[in-house]
Amino acid sequence: MKVKVSPIVLIKIIDAASQKLDREVGGFLIGKISDNCLNIVDVEFPESKGSESYVEIDPLAMAAVAEKLEKKGMRESIVGWWHSHPGFGANFMSSIDVNTQKIYQSLFDKAVALVVDPVPYVSSEDVKKLDFKIYRVVGESYEEVDWSFAVDDYWKIIGDVLKIISEARKQVLVADSSARKLLDVLELRKELSVLKESARNLSEIGSRFEKFQT
Ligand SMILES: [Zn+2]
Is the complex ipTM higher than 0.85? yes
- The CA 26 to ligand 1 mean position distance, Å, reads 10
Would you list the domain boundaries of the chain? 2-151, 153-214
pLDDT, tens digit (0-9, with 9 covering 90-100), for 37-52? 999 988 988 765 545 5
- The CA 199 to ligand 1 mean position distance, Å, reads 66
Contacts of 207 (CB under 8 A, 6+ apart): none
Domain 2-151 is classified in which CATH homologous superfamily?
Cytidine Deaminase, domain 2 (3.40.140.10)
- The CA 96 to ligand 1 mean position distance, Å, reads 7
For residues 71 and 44, is the Cβ–Cβ distance under 8 A? no
Q: For the chain, what is the largest distance between any 2 Cα atoms, rounded to a whole number of angstroms?
A: 105
For residues 158 and 14, is the Cβ–Cβ distance under 8 A? yes
pLDDT, tens digit (0-9, with 9 covering 90-100), for 70-81? 888 888 899 999
CA distance 57 to 42: 19
